[in-house]
Amino acid sequence: MAGSTDGSTRTMGVLTVGGLVMVTAYTVALGSNGWLWFGWVVLGLITLGMVVTRNT
């Protein structure tokens, strides 16, 4: 169905947004950590890949 999101893609989206919130809170509280940001970017790219492949 067009416009709908399957469960795994939706879950990855929620994890990605939650990860962004957590990494940002960590950065504000304790300072920046490049590995956390790198991990979040990788998670975001995986989520983006799931969205793109689901819609093709």
The per-residue pLDDT for range 30-45, each reduced to its tens digit, is: 998 999 999 999 999 9
* Number of H-type helices and E-type strands within the chain: 2, 0
pLDDT of residue 28: 95
- Give residue 46's pLDDT band: very low, low, confident or very high (50, 70, 90): very high
Q: End-to-end CA distance of the chain, in Å?
A: 12
